[in-house]
Amino acid sequence: MTTAALKAKLKEEIEKETDSGILKTIEQLLQSETRAERDKRRLLLVALSSEKDMEEGRTMTMEQAKLKLAGSIEQHRSERDRKAKGA
């Protein structure tokens, strides 16, 4: 089906539709950002936040980052194991 034919069919179906719930759902679908747009927006926000952190001196060395990550992983494992024993 061509794009033009698909648009014509959709317009026809929308014109016939009387259920406002369905029409609202279609409207929301058409207004929703795509996954790619959402991901791009999130990445941009993270990048801007990271730049601000660097400008304000909130940085750490690679070694500090590794130690912090190792601690977080160990804490997560401990919590998981504690929950498993209590279950």
pTM: 0.43
31-86 pLDDT, tens digit per residue, is 878 888 889 999 999 999 999 999 999 999 999 999 999 999 999 999 999 998 88
Task: Output the CA–CA distances (angstroms, integers) from residue 53 to 43, 46, 49, 72, 82, in the order listed.
Answer: 15, 10, 6, 20, 34
